[in-house]
C-alpha cells in the first residue's frame, strides 16, 4: 500500500468545491431534492442543478437537471409526485415542472420579466410566484422591444432616496407582484398591484389565502418596516396583521391552518434588533412572541464565503400543527430548534456546526439538515430527532477532502479588559509543527451585526495553507451573544469593538506560543474593512493590512451608500449636521498616523460601501508617501468574496495572500 500525503490548499481550489443547499423533503418523508452548485471555469460562472435521492435507501443521488445554467428553488407538490423549480435555461428565470417518475421538464411560465419563489396551492392545481412589474403594467409573456436605438444613452432620472441597491444596481420602476399560474393550462392571473414590493411567503391549507409581507408606507424613503398581511385570493384584498412598527416575514401556515409562524422584530434597536419567533392565531386574530424575554436569535446569521443558493427556512411545521422546527444563531453555531405553540423551546441539534438549511417534509421525528464545519465545506444529513443520530446523505466534496489537508480550529474564550466575555477561534497553520513560530492574521467580519461560526471559510483555509495562523473572534456588535452584546457597538465604532480585537490579539499571543508577535497581519471586509482602516490608524503592531470593501469616511458615506442616510443615524448615531462625530469615527481622519503597508481591495459597482471610500483612502495615503496599493474589481458589487465572478474571487484571494507574503516575512 502506497501512502500519499495530502497537499495544501490554494485559492484556485474554489473551482473544485461543490455546494449543496436548499434541501426539500416531500410529504412522504423519503423523497429529497436539493441544489448542487459548482463553478464552470470555462464560462467563469456558477452552474446549479437539481439532485434527487430517497433518504431511506442506500443509493447515490440522481441528477435531475442538466446543462450549464442555473436551476434552483425546487418545491414538491403537495402529493409529492411533481417538483416545480425555477430555471434560467430559456433566459430569465421561469417555472418548470418535473415528474418524479421521469421525463422532460415542462416549462410552465414565460413571463416577460422572469419569475421567482414558486409556492404550490394545497390542491396542487396552481402555483403562486413573484414577478417584477412597473406600476400599471399588465402581466405579459413577451417583453416589449424598444424601438429606440440601443446605442443612444439616456439619463437616469432620480426622485427617490432609495434609488439604488448593492444587489440590484440602479433601480427601475418595477416592483415585486404576486401572480398565480394554473399547472394544467398555464393560464396566469395577477393577484396584487400597486407601487410597493409584495413578498410572497405561503399558501393557506384551505386554498383561500396567501401570506405575504410588504411595506405600504406612503413615504418609502423614510420607512424601514415590513408588515405581515393575509391576502384574500378571490377579492385580492390585503388584511394587515402587524402594526406597522416592525419587520416581519418568513410566514408559514400550520397544516390545519389555525396558526401562522413567522420571524420578525419591532426594531427596538434598529438593525441591531434580534429577530424573534412569533405565532399568529388565525381564529383568535392574536399575535404572540414565543421568544420574548430570551436572548435567542432566530435564523442563520453566520458568515461564510463558500455556500451558494442557501435558503434559510422559516417555521417548519409538524403534522400535528402544534410542533415545529426552526434555525437559530447561538454562540458561534447555528442550531436546529424545536418549538411548540404552547411555548416549548429547546435545541434539537446542538453541536459545533453551521446548520445552513433544513427541511422536515412535515415530519416531527426527522429532518434533513445542511451542515458545514471548519474542515467540512457542507453536506446533507438525515437527523433522527429522538436519538440525535445523523446519517450522511451526500459526499459531494469527497475527492477534494481526500486530496487536500485542511486546518483545524480551536475555540477560545476570554475576558476583555472591561470584563465582557468574548468568544472566537484560532486556526493553526495547516503544516503546523510544535516548537516553530508562525505569523498570524487577524480576520474581522462585516456587518457588524453578523457572526463568525464553526463553518468552512475558504479564505481562512488558504491563509492557513500558506503557513499563517488565523485569529477570528466575534467582538461586541456581533450576533449570537444576546441583545445587549449586539447593540453595544452602536455609537461606539472604533471604541470597545476595537479594544475587543486588540484584547483578542493579546490573549492569543499569551496563550499560543507558536504565534510570532512580530509577524502580525490584519484584514476584513465591509465593517471589517472599516475596522482594518481604524486599526492601522491607531496602532503599528501589524506588519501588513488588507482592507476590503471598506468605509473610510462617514461624512461622504451618508450620501453615496444605498443605506448611508439612515445607517449613519442608526450605527454612528449622528446626523449629517454632526460633522464632528462623523469625522471622529472616520478612519480617514487618522490617515497621517498610518504606517502599516495597506492593500485596498474594492469592487467598482459596490453600492453598499461605494468605491469612492477606497479612492479617498488611497489618494490620502499616496499623497503622504505611505506604502499602499489599490486593486479595483470590475463589474463586481459588495458580494464579490461570496458570489462574485469566480476568476475575480480567485484574484482577490491571491492579492490578499501576496500582500501578506510580501510584508510579513
| Structural domain spans, the chain | 409-448+462-472+493-663
Whether the Cβ atoms of residue 291 and residue 275 lie closer than 8 Å to each other: no
DSSP 276: E
Q: What local confidence, expressed as pLDDT, does residue 147 receive?
A: 64
- Helix extents (H) in 466-552: 483-487, 496-511, 527-536
Q: Of the candidates 155, 149, 146, 71, which has an alpha carbon nearest to the alpha carbon of residue 107?
A: 71
CA distances from 185 to 179, 181, 182, 189, 234 (A): 15, 8, 6, 12, 19
- Say how many C-beta atoms besides its own lie within 10 A of residue 590's C-beta: 16
Average pLDDT taken over every residue of the chain: 96
Q: Give the closest residue to 18 by CA, choosing from 61, 58, 54.
A: 61
Neighbour count for residue 381 (Cβ, 10 Å): 20
Residue 383, C-beta contacts closer than 8 angstroms, at least 6 positions apart? 336, 348, 349, 366, 367, 368, 369, 389, 390
Residues with catalytic function: 526, 638
Q: Which residues contact 640 (CB under 8 A, 6 or more apart)?
A: 549, 603, 606, 633, 648, 649, 652
SS3 121: coil
Provide the pLDDT for residue 149. Answer: 77
- How does DSSP classify residue 294? S
Burial class of residue 342 (count of CB atoms within 10 Å of its CB; 0-12, 13-18, 19+): exposed
**Tens of pLDDT along 168-181?**
899 988 999 999 99
Strands (E), 559-648: 598-603, 628-633
Share of the chain above pLDDT 70, in %: 98
| pLDDT for the residue numbered 341 | 97
Q: What is the rounded CA–CA span in Å between residue 294 and residue 342?
A: 16
Q: Are 328 and 338 in contact (CB under 8 A)?
A: no
- Of 631, 646, 635, 647, nearest to 605 (Cα)? 635
Please say whether the beta carbons of 495 and 503 come within 8 A.
Answer: no
Give pLDDT, residue 1: 38
What distance in Å separates the CA atoms of residue 465 and residue 10, rounded to the nearest whole number? Answer: 7
**Sheet arrangement for strand 19-25:** 19-25, 31-40, 45-54, 62-63
**Alpha helices (runs of H) in 208-366, residue ranges in sequence order:** none
**3-state secondary structure (DSSP) of residue 17:** coil
pLDDT greater than 80 at residue 482: yes
CB-CB contact of 165 with 171 (8 Å): yes
pLDDT (tens digit per residue) in 241-253: 999 999 999 999 9
SS (HEC) of 39-93: EECCCCEEEEEEEEEECCCCCCCEECCCCCCEEEEEEECCCCCEEEEEECCCCCC
Q: What is the pLDDT of residue 4?
A: 55
**Of all helices (H) and strands (E), which one includes residue 623?**
helix 612-623
Is residue 544 within 8 Å of 597, Cβ to Cβ?
yes
In angstroms, the CA 460 to CA 472 distance is 9
Domain 409-448+462-472+493-663 fold: Rossmann fold (3.40.50)
**Beta strands 7-8 and 404-405: pairing type?**
parallel
Indicate whether 2 pLDDT > 60: no
Average pLDDT of the segment spanning 273-297:
97
User: Which residue matches cell numbers 464579490?
Assistant: 640
When computed from its CA atoms, the radius of gyration of the chain, rounded to whole angstroms, is 25
Q: Is 28 helix (H, G, I), strand (E, B) or coil?
A: coil
Residue 503's pLDDT is what? Answer: 98
CB 127 within 8 A of CB 118: yes
What is the rounded average pLDDT of the residues 278-296? Answer: 97
Long-range contacts: 63-72, Cβ < 8 Å, 24+? 63/36, 64/33, 64/98, 65/98, 65/105, 68/40, 68/43, 70/46, 71/35, 71/96, 72/22, 72/35, 72/48, 72/309
Whose grid coordinates read 469625522? Answer: 583
pLDDT score of 369: 98
pLDDT tens, position by position, 517-569:
999 999 999 999 999 999 999 999 999 999 999 999 999 999 999 999 999 99
> Alpha-carbon distance 569 to 386, whole Å?
47
* 536: helix, strand or coil: helix
Using pLDDT thresholds of 50, 70 and 90, give the confidence band for residue 144: low
pTM of the model: 0.97
What SS3 class is residue 186?
coil
Secondary element (H or E) of residue 178? strand 175-182
Q: CA-to-CA distance for 162 and 83, rounded, in angstroms?
A: 37
For residue 555, give the C-alpha cell: 461624512
| Residue 252 falls in which region: left (phi positive, over 0), alpha (psi -120 to 50) or beta | beta
Task: Please identify which residue in the block is written with the cell numbers 403594467.
Answer: 137
Peptide bond into 632 cis (omega under 30): no
Judged by phi (left if over 0) then psi (alpha if -120 to 50, else beta), residue 136 lies in left
Backbone φ, ψ for residue 127 (5° rounding):
-135, 125
Cell of 6: 495530502
Phi, psi of 504 (to 5 degrees): -65, -45
Amino acid at each position: 500500500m502506497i501512502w500519499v500525503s495530502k497537499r495544501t490548499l490554494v485559492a484556485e481550489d474554489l473551482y473544485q468545491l461543490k455546494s449543496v443547499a436548499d434541501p426539500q423533503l416531500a410529504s412522504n418523508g423519503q423523497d429529497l431534492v436539493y441544489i448542487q452548485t459548482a463553478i464552470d471555469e470555462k464560462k467563469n460562472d456558477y452552474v446549479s442543478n437539481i439532485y434527487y435521492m430517497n433518504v431511506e435507501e442506500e443509493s447515490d443521488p440522481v441528477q435531475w437537471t442538466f446543462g450549464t445554467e442555473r436551476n434552483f428553488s425546487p418545491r414538491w407538490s403537495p402529493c409529492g409526485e411533481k417538483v416545480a423549480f425555477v430555471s434560467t435555461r430559456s433566459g430569465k428565470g421561469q417555472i418548470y415542472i418535473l415528474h418524479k417518475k421521469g421525463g422532460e421538464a415542462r416549462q410552465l411560465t414565460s413571463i416577460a420579466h422572469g419569475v421567482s419563489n414558486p409556492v404550490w396551492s394545497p390542491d396542487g392545481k396552481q402555483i403562486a410566484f413573484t414577478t417584477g412589474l412597473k406600476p400599471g403594467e399588465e402581466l405579459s409573456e413577451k417583453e416589449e422591444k424598444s424601438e429606440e436605438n440601443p446605442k443612444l444613452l439616456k439619463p437616469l432620472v432620480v426622485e427617490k432616496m432609495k434609488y439604488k441597491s448593492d444587489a440590484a444596481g440602479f433601480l427601475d420602476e418595477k416592483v415585486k407582484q404576486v401572480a398565480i399560474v394554473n399547472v394544467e393550462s398555464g393560464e396566469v392571473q395577477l393577484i396584487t398591484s400597486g407601487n410597493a414590493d409584495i413578498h410572497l411567503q405561503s399558501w393557506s391549507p384551505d386554498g383561500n389565502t396567501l401570506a405575504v409581507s410588504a411595506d405600504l408606507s406612503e413615504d418609502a424613503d423614510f420607512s424601514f418596516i415590513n408588515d405581515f398581511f393575509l391576502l384574500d385570493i378571490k377579492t385580492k384584498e390585503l388584511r394587515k396583521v402587524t402594526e406597522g412598527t416592525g419587520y416581519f416575514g418568513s410566514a408559514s401556515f400550520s397544516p390545519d391552518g389555525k396558526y401562522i409562524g413567522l420571524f420578525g422584530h419591532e426594531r427596538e434597536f434598529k438593525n441591531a434588533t434580534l429577530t424573534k419567533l412569533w405565532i399568529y392565531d388565525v381564529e383568535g386574530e392574536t399575535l404572540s412572541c414565543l421568544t420574548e424575554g430570551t436572548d435567542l436569535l432566530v435564523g442563520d446569521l453566520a458568515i461564510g464565503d463558500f455556500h451558494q443558493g442557501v435558503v434559510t427556512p422559516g417555521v417548519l411545521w409538524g403534522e400535528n400543527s402544534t410542533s415545529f422546527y426552526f434555525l437559530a444563531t447561538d454562540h458561534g453555531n447555528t442550531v436546529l430548534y424545536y418549538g411548540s405553540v404552547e411555548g416549548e423551546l429547546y435545541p434539537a441539534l446542538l453541536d459545533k456546526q453551521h446548520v445552513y438549511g433544513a427541511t422536515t417534509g412535515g415530519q416531527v421525528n426527522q429532518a434533513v439538515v445542511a451542515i458545514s464545519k471548519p474542515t467540512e465545506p457542507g453536506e446533507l444529513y438525515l437527523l433522527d430527532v429522538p436519538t440525535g443520530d445523523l446519517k450522511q446523505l451526500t459526499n459531494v466534496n469527497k475527492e477534494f477532502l481526500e486530496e487536500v489537508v485542511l486546518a483545524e480550529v480551536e475555540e477560545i474564550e476570554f475576558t476583555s479588559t472591561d470584563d465582557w466575555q468574548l468568544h472566537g477561534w484560532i486556526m493553526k497553520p495547516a503544516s503546523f509543527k510544535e516548537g516553530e513560530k508562525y505569523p498570524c492574521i487577524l480576520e474581522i467580519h462585516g456587518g457588524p451585526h453578523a457572526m463568525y461560526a464553526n463553518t468552512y471559510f475558504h479564505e481562512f483555509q488558504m491563509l492557513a495553507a500558506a503557513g499563517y495562523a488565523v485569529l477570528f473572534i466575534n467582538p461586541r456588535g456581533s450576533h449570537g451573544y444576546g441583545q445587549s452584546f449586539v447593540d453595544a457597538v452602536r455609537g461606539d465604532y472604533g471604541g470597545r469593538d476595537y479594544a475587543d480585537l486588540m484584547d483578542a490579539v493579546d490573549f492569543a499571543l499569551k496563550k499560543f506560543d507558536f504565534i510570532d508577535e512580530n509577524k502580525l497581519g490584519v484584514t476584513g471586509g465591509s465593517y471589517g474593512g472599516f475596522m482594518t482602516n481604524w486599526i492601522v490608524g491607531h496602532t503599528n503592531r501589524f506588519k501588513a493590512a488588507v482592507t476590503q470593501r471598506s468605509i473610510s469616511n462617514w461624512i461622504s458615506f451618508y450620501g453615496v451608500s444605498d443605506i448611508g442616510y439612515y445607517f449613519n443615524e442608526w450605527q454612528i448615531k449622528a446626523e449629517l449636521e454632526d460633522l464632528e462625530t462623523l469625522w471622529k469615527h472616520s478612519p480617514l481622519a487618522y490617515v497621517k498616523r498610518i504606517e502599516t503597508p495597506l492593500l485596498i481591495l474594492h469592487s467598482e459597482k459596490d453600492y453598499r460601501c461605494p468605491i469612492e471610500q477606497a479612492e479617498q483612502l488611497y489618494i490620502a495615503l499616496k499623497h503622504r508617501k505611505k506604502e499602499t496599493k489599490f486593486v479595483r474589481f470590475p463589474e463586481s458589487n459588495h458580494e464579490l468574496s461570496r458570489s462574485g465572478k469566480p476568476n475575480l474571487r480567485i484574484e482577490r484571494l491571491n492579492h490578499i495572500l501576496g500582500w501578506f507574503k510580501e510584508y510579513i516575512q
